[in-house]
Amino acid sequence: MFILGIETSCDETASAVVKDGKEVLSNCIATQIDLHQAFGGVVPELACRRHVDVIVPVIEEALKHAKVTLDQLNLIAVTTTPGLVGALLIGINAAKALSLALDIPLIGINHVEAHLYAAMMSQEEEVRFPALGAVFSGGHTALALIKGYGNYQLISHTVDDAVGEAFDKVAKLMGIPYPGGPKIEELAKEGNPNAFPLKSGTVKGRALHFSFSGLKTAVLYALKGQDAAASLAERLTDSEKADMAASFQRAAFDDLVGKTLLAAKNYQCQTIVFGGGVTNSQTLRRQFSNEAPKEMRLLWPAPGLALDNAAMIAGLAYHQYKLSGEDNFLIEAKPTSYFSGS
Ligand code: KG4
Ligand code: ZN
């Protein structure tokens, strides 16, 4: 079964062709980093305009790379939730046009569920359920119990910033261009993780929930020190920047690792499935390997499948279509939601 995936929920215009849920024939991404860098974050209106400009060429490229023609496609899959509503609409309308013109079914996919599927499609072996799902991205931070493909129960989520968003905002405070995550990881290698006594937030009565806005503010005050008027970025020496990057990263990752391993224990999961851009961090992967019990299986997305992409959308669509037979031309953009039904 050849499935064309389309993803436009945020600042990447992506399209991919995946065969039978696993074999990635193409995975094309037009990144918009250059467009948003000057603003230190994604500007929704600019993202939408760029999606409109590049959506058709990106789909054409995905087909060309896969060596698949339009009439060979069996299903169109598109992200419908969560994301920027205007951005989602562009992908959805392109998908509807293709479904109508080719007279093939159309299926809407949840982006967060697809991030978790990215790690599952990266494995040789079948994933054993129940598994714990951990999504750490620029837009989302959540833990879920995965009982099977398409069967998720939300356990916890961030009550304010997503962890990747915190990386990007802290980077901006330090004068590091967007997206800050990879650059903070690089800088942190030279720094002392205990130079600043930072800690991630806790949520009263919700031991597994996340909160990163206080951590970001703590970085701001630690950087400002006594001289609130000074330009933060200019005042920092290179070694202070490295120490701050290392201390912030340690505080964020101690929190992710601690709460995720606690959830795996509480929900009796022997497998953790990771998804989202922050799981690109080799530092995070190492920390999980060091701290998880020996018997725990840690499933990470393969290269190219951690950040936003359409292969994960087309891959998950295979299972969702097999389970539900869904063909819904009336799919709509839904800006917020974590998992189907939540
Ligand atoms: O999954 P993704 O592409 O987009 C969303 O769905 O949000 O994730 C992008 C996020 C950005 O916030 C970026 O800073 C973060 O992933 N990121 C990282 C690293 N690589 C990407 N954060 C920490 N360390 C990294 N190495
Ligand atoms: Zn994402």
For the packed helices 180-188 and 282-291, what is the interaxial angle rounded to 10 degrees? 60
Contacts of residue 166, defined as CB under 8 A and 6 or more positions apart, other chains included, come to 212, 213, 215, 216, 252
- Backbone dihedral region of 83: left (phi > 0), alpha (psi from -120 to 50 degrees) or beta? left
Does any ligand 1 atom lie closer than 6 A to the CB of residue 91?
A: no
Reported as a single tens digit per residue, the pLDDT across 79-121 is: 999 999 999 999 999 999 999 999 999 999 999 999 999 999 9
* pLDDT, average across residues 22-46: 90
Does any ligand 1 atom lie closer than 6 A to the CB of residue 180?
A: yes
Among protein residues, the one with the nearest Cα to ligand 1's atom 23 is 181
Does any ligand 1 atom lie closer than 6 A to the CB of residue 243?
A: no
Decide which of 9 and 224 is more confident.
9
* pLDDT, average across residues 143-160: 93
pLDDT at 37: 83
How far out from the chain centre does Cα 313 lie? 12
pLDDT at 170: 94
Edge-first strand order for the sheet with 2-7 is: 23-31, 12-19, 2-7, 75-81, 106-110
CB atoms within 10 A of CB 71: 7
Between the CA of 163 and the centroid of ligand 1 the distance, in Å, is 8
* pLDDT, average across residues 266-284: 97
Contacts of residue 192, defined as CB under 8 A and 6 or more positions apart, other chains included, come to 242, 243, 246, 247
Residue 203: exposure state from Cβ atoms within 10 A (0-12, 13-18, ≥19): middle
Cα–Cα distance measured from residue 320 to residue 42, given in angstroms and rounded to the nearest whole number: 30
Reported as a single tens digit per residue, the pLDDT across 44-76 is: 999 999 999 999 999 999 999 999 999 999 999
pLDDT at 223: 81
Among protein residues, the one with the nearest Cα to ligand 1's atom 3 is 307
Cα–Cα distance measured from residue 116 to residue 135, given in angstroms and rounded to the nearest whole number: 7
- Please say whether the beta carbons of 317 and 109 come within 8 A: yes
pLDDT at 340: 73
Reported as a single tens digit per residue, the pLDDT across 198-216 is: 999 999 999 999 999 999 9
pLDDT of 16 higher than 70: yes
pLDDT of 224 higher than 80: no
Reported as a single tens digit per residue, the pLDDT across 231-266 is: 666 677 889 999 999 999 999 999 999 999 999 999
To the nearest 10°, the Cα dihedral for 56, 59, 301, 153? Answer: 70
The ligand 1 atom at the shortest distance from the C-alpha of residue 168 is: 14
pLDDT at 242: 95
pLDDT of 227 higher than 70: no
Confidence at 149, pLDDT banded by 50, 70, 90: confident
Q: Which amino acid is at 224?
A: K
What are the φ and ψ backbone dihedral angles of 163, each rounded to 5 degrees? -65, -40
DSSP 137-154: SSS-EEEEEEEETTEEEE
Reported as a single tens digit per residue, the pLDDT across 287-339 is: 999 999 999 999 999 999 999 999 999 999 999 999 988 888 889 999 987 77
Among protein residues, the one with the nearest Cα to ligand 1's atom 5 is 138
Among protein residues, the one with the nearest Cα to ligand 1's atom 8 is 277
* pLDDT, average across residues 12-21: 97
CA angle 334–336–339, rounded 5-degree value: 95
Reported as a single tens digit per residue, the pLDDT across 175-191 is: 888 889 999 999 999 99
pLDDT at 237: 86
